[in-house]
Chain A
Amino acid sequence: MTEIIAISLENEMDLVLAHKRSMKVAEKLGLTIATQTTFATAVSEVARTVIDYTNHGMLNIYIDGKIPRFSLMAQIIFNSEARPTRSDEGFYYAQKLVPEFEMSTSGTDHLIIMRIGLPRSLKLDQLKINLLKTFFDLEGPINAYEQIKHKNSLLHKITGEQEIEIKREREINEKKNEFISIASHEIKTPITIVKAYAQMLRMMRSECSDKANEIIDRLNGQTTKLGYLANQLMDVSRVENGNLEYNFESIKINHFIGEVLSVLKHVYPGNEISWNAGQEIEVHLDKLRMEQVLTNLIGNASKYSSASSVIQINSVLEAEQIKIAVIDAGIGMSKENVERIFEKFYRNKEVRDSHPGLGMGLYITSKIVTDHGGRIWVESEQGKGSIFHFTIPLSTLSKS
């Protein structure tokens, strides 16, 4: 069965279209003028009655069958709560015109099929049918109305496809978030266990050889990292689901930074961490989350710079905000990376193989800063180092 034309039945204008198109198909097939008229009239009569019921009908004209027996077939599908019957005016009239008329109903869906057998003398074959289809596909609109109708249906189709695409993307994204959330939870139990066993081993130091103790220390270090990664993964899924929670309190900024740095000095003993404090002032922040910001920025500074290089922290009190800078003399990054570095899962190509990481840290960091009402950005030059700046507003309008 080959579809030759399809016309949606929406209003009176479509009746003209249905008539003209049916006529043309019959003409192209080489049927007599009498048969052309009979077929076209039957189609438009049915269409007229369908339009009385609904403005969402659909007419399709097919060539059905196979060599040597083909038929010209018109199919009309429509949906209506009312109960159309064979004796409705247009349907009744059509039955008198065409030799085959079938009508069936399923719920509120109604189907009408009309058929005219095609004489063998037409010498039809699949090739000719395909040519006929191509002819109608390529033929321009009969009138301005059809032109608009075509454009409209094309637009509908494109919009529909885009909507489906957006929906699918959203679904994939939701599934991915759900997976990250579940995965980060699931790996927490084994991490808890491994970490605790490693700690128990460390408590048995005196019973172990130096070699064993070194291994135990390394094991401890790695499980701590693993725990940190699991927490980051969980943070990413919280950011995605919009439930990163904050406990804001009033904090003296210099005191706070000083405390965090005193811990970080032990975490990154390879680098000298130098701290240039600005004026002391109280700000509104979540201590644990802001500690995470500093830990991430200083951790990155240490990760991407040579041992024993200086990591400089500056804070300046400006009119409406505190501006904090983390300055390293590390490998720096290209302009492209400067622009994309805060994107989720983004990893700089040049360091992907040399420095492990999942590209979550700066993404989470930037979320925490913006959730505090601040801004974060980076200045960098390859081979010279990077400066990460972030601000904390004094009058906090941050969300809690």
Chain B
Amino acid sequence: MAIKVFIVEDNEDIGFILESYLSQEGFEVSLFPSVSAFKSVYPSRLPQVFLLDVMLPDGDGIALCNEIKNNPEAAALPVVLMSAHSPAEQIVTESKADNFIKKPFDLELIPKTLIDAIHR
């Protein structure tokens, strides 16, 4: 069974890279370029894991993560945040996120990070 992942990432290239690589690795990827695009699907549909960028054009991943963790129906689902910005790193460690990926990331490690988050 393919693992369903919701990715929120506004950068077109990073979105393309994550989508194509994770699909290739057997994930079922839904990619959203903004919080509003994400909200058109969430919470009526839920994945098995979320991968959220911190800085988004119409919001931020940390707030989104907290929203997911405060929703009883989604709270158990793992959330992985990613960012290149150092203050975000500190904020993320204090957030309810299950894991954090620092950019620039090692692409090959991302599937493992997502799977680990699910099994935790």
Contact = CB atoms under 8 A, between A and B. Distances in A.
Contact of A199 (B14, B85, B106): B106
B65 to A, nearest CB: 20
The prevalent SS among residues of A at the interface is helix
Contacts of B13: 193, 196-197
B103 interface: yes
B11 A199 contact: no
Given A227-B104, A245-B90, A196 B14 contact: yes
A192 B104 contact: yes
B84 A185 contact: yes
Contact of B17 (A185, A188, A196, A230): A196
Interface in A209-235: 223, 227, 230, 234
Interface string B8-21: 00010110010011
Contacts of B58: none
A193 B60 CA distance: 20
The prevalent SS among residues of B at the interface is helix
Interface string A21-55: 00000000000000000000000000000000000
B42 interface: no
A199 B86 contact: no
A185 B103 CA distance: 10
Interface in A146-196: 185, 188-189, 191-193, 195-196
A389 interface: no
B11 to A, nearest CB: 6
B108 interface: yes
A196 B11 contact: no
A227 B104 CA distance: 7
B107 interface: yes
Interface string A119-134: 0000000000000000
A142 interface: no
Contact of A192 (B86, B90, B105, B108): B105
Nearest to B105: A192
A337 B71 CA distance: 60
A238 B85 CA distance: 12
A196 B86 contact: no
Nearest to A185: B85
Interface in B80-110: 84-86, 90, 103-108
B84 A189 contact: yes
Interface core residue of B90, B106, B107 (most chain A CB under 10 Å) = B107
A358 interface: no
Contacts of B105: 192, 195-196
Contacts of B106: 199
A191 B104 contact: yes
Interface in A87-117: none
Nearest to B12: A193
B20 A200 contact: yes
B14 A188 contact: no
A195 B105 CA distance: 8
A199 B13 CA distance: 14
A87 to B, nearest CB: 64
Contacts of B108: 199, 203
Contacts of A238: 86
A200 B21 contact: yes
B14 A193 contact: yes
Contacts of A185: 84-86
A234 B88 CA distance: 14
Nearest to B103: A192
Given A192-B84, A234-B86, A199 B107 contact: yes
A31 B96 CA distance: 88
A191 B103 CA distance: 9
Contacts of B104: 188, 191-192, 195-196, 223, 227, 230
B17 A197 contact: yes
A227 B106 CA distance: 11
Given A185-B86, A188-B104, 6 more contacts: A185-B85, A192-B84, A192-B104, A193-B11, A196-B21, A196-B104
Interface of A: 185, 188-189, 191-193, 195-197, 199-200, 203, 223, 227, 230, 234, 238, 245
25 contacts: A185-B84, A185-B85, A188-B104, A189-B14, A189-B84, A189-B103, A192-B14, A192-B103, A193-B14, A195-B104, A195-B105, A196-B14, A196-B17, A196-B21, A196-B104, A196-B107, A199-B106, A199-B107, A199-B108, A200-B17, A203-B21, A203-B24, A203-B108, A223-B104, A245-B90
Across the A-B interface, give the 3 residue pairs with the lowest CB-CB distance, nearest first: A188-B84, A192-B104, A199-B107
